[in-house]
């Protein structure tokens, strides 16, 4: 049907959709800038791989194990978010991501710098499609519920949300927990596809890549993240033809895209003249209700 | 050994501090994480290296030219990648910055090739020994130059007219504009000065480690950014303090905990500091207006 | 889209075209350009040879060397018409040094480009990720530099052409103790598969024969090694084994000199590059390391390669380039003896015996691993001299 190469790209697109939509929950909808999403992915990837290799769990159980472990860490990293805002939070998540990577690089059980090989190839396109649809479906349910409205309220104005009786602490930690859960799921699929994992692929550049997918697609838009993930997975592959100039083009495309449509591919254009805002509200002010079709 | 490690940390930290200054200045004025700063640092080092090795320019002159060129580059990057996005969301500007960073890095890779270039030290190698510590001439020069540049920057910001305009813009852009301050000029100057400091750091690090390479800006750029946040982003003394602290923490972590976990120690300290002082060490916590 | 945006878009595209044009003008950066002029002779069958490695990112210098080495071997084969009626074509793919992107590169070469053989990956993690894909696509792959232990086990399509870390490090440790008479060693290793494997092997042998007083780590692309060196200094070793590549090794030596740490530096084939002396200068003088290749070798094949490399790329070859050149020539030899289909190349590679390469006589064992002679080189007056 498809050549193995296209199949592989499609699987990667699927995994990246899971990564981007789950990051979108944290950054796009709740307004908590995170540049450590790859850390959750690596936690899920390693935990799922080890569950398969050492505990002999079936594939599905391993995936769940990886996702749950990532969720635990998501809650843990969610706790500092109670105090940190904007770029301070971003840098804390970045630091967390680097710590996780370095720990994996030095642990014995993860194979350290040599990596972990011999993971069975259980991930198929069908698994990825099911996982991606499930992720989108659950995230959509969350966003359309009371929880989702609370998250968006936190993004729009935390103080106002709090005074309306929203427990911002609880909901922010929830967003991190859920986001990390799905990132862990994506990681588990990732490790069971490549049959090998190494910390080198979960560095800060990978987190940045996820963030680019969310922003390029359109912050706080489910479809935006899906399109962003597909575009940023496929574009570097198409650019392979230009060999040495690939990365150069990639950089230029990012700059160019932001010039032409700073609000992302899908995302409502905000009026160019806006009243001065307080510093915490500048993260992106897209009318989410219109976007997810409420 | 403790004092020797302390010196190691301070020297490393002073280069971080110089990079952090560029981040913090830009952030203070336009609230943008200038991701391309690490690349400007790299370009500055390349210009310095080229002038010294190919054109045989005296080192001090090469140093100044590198700073000027990097300043121009910073202004160009601002003009192309950031200025059009000034009214967009901050994240859009961040992505644009990342794009600019990737572009510059790979441009350098294409033009210069991936191999590291040697940057011969203009100073005769000399080591000063005391009973407690050993310090080389290059390290002393790095400390002195960093100190002078930071002093100069403080003077520029506190005592000159443009410095006053910068401070006003950082406080309230719209009000500053109403007072007749040319915001665009202030931003351009900020980028120029910040980038020049980055280039200074690049050249100093280049002669310290005797090499320049297209990828040299990646990690120092990240660390400089961390240092800026650690000190309290937007605060100039904060950047200096953050840089020194990060350098010392990294070295002490490598020396007394484990060199395998060197970077992890630095980042853990960062998270702990942020947890107890969420706005960084010297940062003001901006009161949110309701 | 506003008019202003269109203007900027056009300007940017214009700039990129300009960069493209200027970039292509430089011979050092566009080695592919050299081959294009000849063109495949009429009626000849085109056989594609893939190459996978980091051409951008922090490890770009290694990947680029590998591509250069392969390029020379392929150009030579085409010029001499080594394989009658066949023109070889190089298809190089970038990995950015990320193994998951290496997997994409392997797939693309196999499925889209329809290559018959792949030379790569360069980093061990790249080959680990690409190996199963090569096996799945039934395309043989030979890595010129991935040294991870047991890499080729259980994969009949995966081969490599490099010195084993274990053999190198244990031979060097033996030499350092018995011939040079050192008794107290320190190890400074880069925290990746290459460094860790070398460290383990060296530590084991050195501990048996003498004493290891300190073991410290550093990361790829680190620049500041002062804290590690200061720690090592207090332990007073006579020699430091640096398990890492030339850029870091040169900086370590330099910084050791700056803090008055006078020791003998030991290393492995990762030292082999002129960059070691360019950056290290005085500080690396006297350094002793193992290698598979020595450009000072008088033999015609080595001199031919070194001269061609200088001429084409305007620099001295490093060990990555040399091993890649040999890997490509082993592939070409396999094509000559068996045929050019993927399966025939695989058979040919598996049967490689005493291939006279520039990195020594090379045989491939039943597991796809290489058996080679280890040389020991020393930096003397800014050049490498063979001492064993």
Taking chain B (290 residues) in consecutive chunks of 10 residues, what is each chunk's mean pLDDT?
89 90 86 88 94 91 95 94 84 86 91 88 82 86 90 90 89 87 91 93 90 89 88 85 91 88 85 82 56
Distance CA C360, CA C371 (A): 10
Q: Judge whether A222 lies within some domain.
A: no
Of A189, A185, A188, give the one whose Cα is nearest residue A8: A189
C148 chain-A contacts, CB cut-off 8 A? 114-115
Helices B183-209 + B161-171 axis angle, to 10: 110
**Which portions of chain A are predicted below pLDDT 70?**
1-2, 81, 243, 268-294
Which residues sit opposite A249 in a β-bridge?
none
A115 chain-C contacts, CB cut-off 8 A? 99, 124-125, 128, 148, 193
Does C275 touch chain B if contact means CB atoms closer than 8 Å? Answer: yes
Distance CA C216, CA C345 (A): 43
The pLDDT, as a whole number, for residue A77 is 83
Q: ipTM score of the complex?
A: 0.88
B88 chain-C contacts, CB cut-off 8 A? none
Chain A residue whose CA is closest to B261: A102
Per the document, the length of chain C is 388
Q: Judge whether A29 lies within some domain.
A: yes
Other beta carbons within 10 angstroms of residue A118's beta carbon come to 14
Q: Do C128 and A237 count as a contact with CB atoms less than 8 A apart?
A: no
Q: Do A274 and B105 count as a contact with CB atoms less than 8 A apart?
A: no
Phi, psi dihedrals of residue C116, rounded to the nearest 5°: -100, -15
Other beta carbons within 10 angstroms of residue B276's beta carbon come to 7
Q: Which residues of C308-346 are buried (b: 16+ CB within 10 A; e: fewer)?
A: bbeebbebbbbbbbbbbbbbbbbbbbbbeebbbebebbb
User: Which of A95, A160, A262 has its CB closest to that of B270?
Assistant: A95
> A122: distance to nearest CA of chain B, Å?
33
Contact indicator for C372, C292 with CB cutoff of 8 Å: yes
Question: Looking at chain B from residue 213 to 272, which residues have their Cβ under 8 Å from any Cβ of chain C?
Answer: 213-216, 218-220, 250-252, 254-255, 258-260, 262-263
Distance CA C273, CA B155 (A): 46
Domains, in order of start, for chain B = 2-276 (1.10.3470)
Q: Do C275 and B216 count as a contact with CB atoms less than 8 A apart?
A: no
Q: Do A194 and C100 count as a contact with CB atoms less than 8 A apart?
A: yes
The total number of structural domains in chain A stands at 1
Residue C69: pLDDT band by 50, 70, 90 thresholds? very high
Contact indicator for C377, C387 with CB cutoff of 8 Å: yes
Does C28 touch chain B if contact means CB atoms closer than 8 Å? Answer: yes
Count of pairs with CB atoms under 8 A, one residue in A, one in C: 109
The pLDDT, as a whole number, for residue C177 is 92
Fold agreement (C44-163+299-373, C165-291): yes
CA A281 → CA A34, A155, A214, A258, B93, distances in Å? 16, 7, 18, 20, 15
C230 chain-B contacts, CB cut-off 8 A? 1, 4-5, 8, 255
Counting DSSP H helices and E strands in chain C, the numbers are 13, 15
Domain span at residue A125?
4-202
C26 chain-B contacts, CB cut-off 8 A? 111
| Strand-strand pairing, B127-129 and C288-291 | unpaired
Query: Is pLDDT above 60 for C40?
Result: no
Contact indicator for B10, B143 with CB cutoff of 8 Å: yes
Does C231 touch chain B if contact means CB atoms closer than 8 Å? Answer: yes
Task: Encode chain A in three state secondary structure.
Answer: CCCHHHHHHHHHHHHHHHHHHHHHHHHHHCCCCCCCHHHHHHHHHHHHHHHHHHHCCCHHHHHHHHHHHHHHHHHHHHHHHHCCCHHHHHHHHHHHHHHHHHHHHHCCCCCHHHCEECCCCCCCHHHHHHHHHHHHHHHHHHHHCHHHHHHHHHHHCHHHHHHCCCCHHHHHHHHHHHHHHHHHHHHHHHHHHHCEECHHHHCHHHHHHHHHHHHHHCCCCHHHHHHHHHHHHHHHHHHHHHHHHHHHHHHHHHHHHHHHCCCCCCCCCCCCCCCCCCHHHCCCCCCHHHHCCC
Cβ within 8 Å of residue A67, ≥6 positions away:
A44, A48, A181, A182, A184, A185, A188
Tell me yes or no: is domain C44-163+299-373 CATH 3.40.640.10: no
Q: Do B89 and A83 count as a contact with CB atoms less than 8 A apart?
A: no
DSSP structure class, residue C28: G
The pLDDT, as a whole number, for residue A16 is 95
A9 chain-C contacts, CB cut-off 8 A? 104
Q: Do C94 and A4 count as a contact with CB atoms less than 8 A apart?
A: no
> C178: distance to nearest CA of chain A, Å?
31
A260 chain-C contacts, CB cut-off 8 A? 1, 5, 9
> A42: distance to nearest CA of chain B, Å?
16
The pLDDT, as a whole number, for residue C43 is 66
Token pair for residue B44?
A: 């500055």
Contact indicator for B125, C281 with CB cutoff of 8 Å: no
Helices B236-252 + B218-231 axis angle, to 10: 120
Examine residue C235 and say whether the peptide bond preceding it is cis (omega within 30 degrees of 0). no
Other beta carbons within 10 angstroms of residue A237's beta carbon come to 21
Chain C: touching chains (3 or more CB pairs < 8 Å): A, B
CA A237 to chain centre: 20
Chain C residue whose CA is closest to A206: C98
Three-class DSSP category at C68: helix
Token pair for residue C127?
A: 């080959």
Count of pairs with CB atoms under 8 A, one residue in A, one in B: 160
Question: Looking at chain B from residue 27 to 86, which residues have their Cβ under 8 Å from any Cβ of chain A?
Answer: 27, 31, 33, 80-81, 84-85
Distance CA A253, CA C240 (A): 47
Distance CA C356, CA C329 (A): 10
Q: Do C8 and B84 count as a contact with CB atoms less than 8 A apart?
A: yes
Q: pLDDT tens-digit profile of A185-225?
A: 999 999 999 999 999 889 888 998 999 899 888 888 889 99
Query: Is pLDDT above 80 for C134?
Result: yes
Q: pLDDT tens-digit profile of C303-325?
A: 999 999 999 998 889 999 999 99
Q: pLDDT tens-digit profile of C170-220?
A: 899 999 999 899 999 999 999 988 899 899 999 999 999 999 999 999 988
Q: Could you tell me the residue ranges of all domains in chain C?
A: 44-163+299-373, 165-291
Which residues sit opposite C364 in a β-bridge?
C370
Q: Do A196 and C196 count as a contact with CB atoms less than 8 A apart?
A: no
Q: Do A258 and B88 count as a contact with CB atoms less than 8 A apart?
A: yes
Three-class DSSP category at B89: coil
Token pair for residue B178?
A: 């109403």
Distance CA A217, CA A232 (A): 9
Cβ within 8 Å of residue A116, ≥6 positions away:
A46, A49, A50, A53, A110, A191, A196, A197, A198
CA A248 → CA A195, A239, B70, C376, distances in Å? 30, 10, 20, 41
**C3 burial class (0-12, 13-18, 19+ CB within 10 angstroms)?**
exposed
The pLDDT, as a whole number, for residue A17 is 96
Q: Do B271 and A283 count as a contact with CB atoms less than 8 A apart?
A: no
Residue C93: pLDDT band by 50, 70, 90 thresholds? very high
Chain A residue whose CA is closest to B225: A91
Q: Judge whether A173 lies within some domain.
A: yes
CA A291 → CA A266, A268, B6, B59, distances in Å? 8, 8, 54, 58
CA B88 → CA A241, B95, C329, distances in Å? 33, 11, 55
A245 chain-C contacts, CB cut-off 8 A? 16, 19-20, 23
Which pairs from B237-242 meet CB under 8 Å and 24+ separation?
A: B237/B282, B238/B24, B238/B280, B238/B281, B238/B282, B238/B283, B239/B17, B239/B20, B239/B21, B239/B23, B239/B24, B240/B17, B240/B20, B240/B21, B240/B150, B241/B17, B241/B281, B241/B282, B242/B16, B242/B17, B242/B20, B242/B280, B242/B281
Does B289 touch chain C if contact means CB atoms closer than 8 Å? Answer: no
Reported as type and span, the H/E element at residue B24 is helix B2-30
Rounded to 5°, angle at Cα A59 from A56 and A60: 125
Distance CA B52, CA B58 (A): 7
Query: Is pLDDT above 70 for C14?
Result: no
Q: Judge whether A134 lies within some domain.
A: yes
Rounded to 5°, angle at Cα A141 from A133 and A22: 60
Question: Looking at chain A from residue 200 to 219, which residues have their Cβ under 8 Å from any Cβ of chain B?
Answer: 204, 208, 211-212, 215-216, 219
Q: Judge whether A84 lies within some domain.
A: yes
Thinking of the domain C165-291, which architecture would CATH place it in? 3-Layer(aba) Sandwich (3.40)
Q: Do C223 and B209 count as a contact with CB atoms less than 8 A apart?
A: yes
The pLDDT, as a whole number, for residue B88 is 79
């Amino acid at each position: 049907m498809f050549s193995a190469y296209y199949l592989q790209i499609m699987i990667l697109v699927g995994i990246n959709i899971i990564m981007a939509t789950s990051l979108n929950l944290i950054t796009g909808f709740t307004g908590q800038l995170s540049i450590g999403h790859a850390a959750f992915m690596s936690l899920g990837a390693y935990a799922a791989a080890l569950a398969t290799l050492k505990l002999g769990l079936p594939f599905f159980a391993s995936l769940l194990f990886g996702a749950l472990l990532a969720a635990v860490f998501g809650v843990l990293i969610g706790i500092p978010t109670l105090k940190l805002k904007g770029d301070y939070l971003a840098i804390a998540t970045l630091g967390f991501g680097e710590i996780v990577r370095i720990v994996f690089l030095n642990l014995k059980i993860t194979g350290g710098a040599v990596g972990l090989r011999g993971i069975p190839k259980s991930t198929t396109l069908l698994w990825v499609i099911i996982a991606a649809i499930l992720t989108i479906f659950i995230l959509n349910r969350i966003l359309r519920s009371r929880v989702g409205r609370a998250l968006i309220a936190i993004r729009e104005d935390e103080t106002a949300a709090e005074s309306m009786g929203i427990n911002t602490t609880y909901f922010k930690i929830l967003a991190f927990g859920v986001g990390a859960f799905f990132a862990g799921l994506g990681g588990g699929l990732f490790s069971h596809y490549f049959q090998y994992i190494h910390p080198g692929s979960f560095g800060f550049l990978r987190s940045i890549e996820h963030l680019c997918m969310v922003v390029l697609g359109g912050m706080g838009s489910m479809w935006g993240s899906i399109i962003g993930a597909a575009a940023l997975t496929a574009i570097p592959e198409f650019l392979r033809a230009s060999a040495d100039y690939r990365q150069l083009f990639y950089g230029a495309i990012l700059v160019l895209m932001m010039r032409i449509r700073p609000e992302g591919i899908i995302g409502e254009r905000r009026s160019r003249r806006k009243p001065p805002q307080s510093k915490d509200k500048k993260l992106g002010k897209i009318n989410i209700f219109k976007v997810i079709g409420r | 050994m403790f004092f020797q490690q302390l010196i190691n940390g301070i020297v490393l930290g002073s280069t971080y501090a110089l990079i952090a200054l560029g981040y913090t200045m830009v952030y203070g004025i336009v609230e943008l994480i200038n991701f391309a700063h690490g690349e400007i640092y790299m370009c500055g080092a390349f210009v310095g290296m080229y002038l010294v090795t190919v054109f045989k320019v005296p080192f001090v002159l090469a140093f100044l030219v590198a700073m000027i060129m990097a300043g121009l580059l910073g202004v160009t990057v601002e003009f192309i990648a950031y200025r059009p996005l000034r009214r967009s969301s901050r994240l859009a500007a961040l992505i644009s910055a990342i794009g600019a960073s990737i572009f510059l890095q790979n441009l350098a890779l294409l033009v210069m090739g991936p191999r590291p270039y040697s940057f011969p030290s203009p100073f005769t190698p000399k080591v000063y020994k005391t009973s407690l510590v050993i310090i080389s001439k290059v390290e002393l020069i790095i400390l002195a130059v960093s100190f002078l540049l930071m002093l100069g920057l403080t003077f520029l910001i506190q005592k000159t007219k443009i410095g006053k305009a910068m401070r006003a813009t950082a406080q309230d852009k719209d009000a500053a504009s109403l007072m007749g301050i040319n915001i665009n000029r202030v931003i351009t100057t900020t980028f120029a000065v910040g980038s020049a400091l980055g280039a200074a750091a690049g050249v100093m690090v280049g002669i310290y480690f005797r090499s320049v390479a297209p990828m040299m800006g990646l990690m120092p750029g990240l660390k400089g950014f961390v240092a800026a946040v650690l000190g309290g982003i937007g605060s100039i003394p904060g950047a200096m303090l953050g840089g020194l602290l990060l350098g010392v923490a990294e070295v002490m972590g490598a020396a007394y905990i484990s060199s395998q976990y060197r970077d992890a120690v630095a980042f853990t300290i960062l998270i702990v500091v942020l947890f107890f002082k969420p706005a960084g060490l010297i940062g003001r916590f901006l009161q949110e207006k309701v | 889209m506003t008019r202003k945006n269109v203007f900027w878009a056009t300007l940017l595209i214009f700039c990129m075209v300009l960069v493209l044009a200027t970039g292509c003008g430089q011979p050092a950066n566009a080695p592919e350009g050299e081959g294009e002029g000849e063109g495949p002779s009429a009626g000849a069958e085109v056989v594609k040879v893939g190459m996978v490695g980091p051409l951008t990112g922090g490890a770009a210098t290694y990947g680029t060397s590998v591509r250069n080495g392969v390029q020379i071997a392929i150009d030579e084969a085409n010029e001499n018409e080594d394989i009658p009626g066949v023109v070889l074509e190089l298809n190089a793919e970038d990995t950015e040094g990320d193994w998951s992107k290496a997997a994409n590169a392997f797939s693309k070469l196999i499925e889209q480009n329809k290559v018959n053989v792949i030379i790569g990956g360069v980093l061990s993690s790249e080959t680990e990720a690409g190996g199963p894909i090569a096996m799945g696509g039934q395309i043989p792959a030979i890595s010129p530099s991935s040294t991870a232990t047991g890499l080729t086990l259980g994969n009949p399509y995966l081969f490599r052409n490099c010195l084993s870390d274990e053999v190198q490090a244990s031979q060097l440790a033996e030499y350092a103790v018995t011939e040079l008479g050192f008794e107290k060693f320190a190890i400074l290793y880069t925290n990746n598969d290459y460094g860790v494997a070398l460290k383990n092997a060296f530590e084991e042998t050195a501990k048996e024969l003498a004493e290891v007083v300190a073991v410290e780590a550093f990361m790829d692309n680190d620049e500041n090694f002062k804290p590690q060196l200061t720690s090592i200094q207090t332990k007073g070793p006579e020699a430091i084994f640096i398990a890492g590549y030339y850029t870091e090794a040169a900086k370590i030596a330099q910084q050791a000199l700056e803090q008055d740490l006078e020791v003998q530096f030991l290393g492995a084939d990762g030292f082999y590059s002129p960059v070691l002396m360019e950056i290290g200068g005085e500080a690396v003088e006297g350094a002793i390391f193992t290698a598979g290749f020595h450009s000072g070798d008088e033999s015609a094949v080595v001199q031919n390669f070194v001269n061609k490399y200088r001429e084409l790329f305007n620099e001295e070859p490093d060990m990555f380039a040399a091993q890649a050149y040999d890997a490509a020539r082993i592939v070409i030899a396999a094509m000559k003896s068996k045929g050019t289909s993927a399966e025939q190349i695989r058979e040919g590679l598996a049967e490689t015996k005493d291939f006279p390469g520039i990195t020594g006589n090379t045989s491939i064992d039943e597991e796809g691993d290489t058996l080679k002679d280890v040389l020991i080189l020393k930096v003397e007056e800014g050049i490498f001299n063979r001492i064993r």
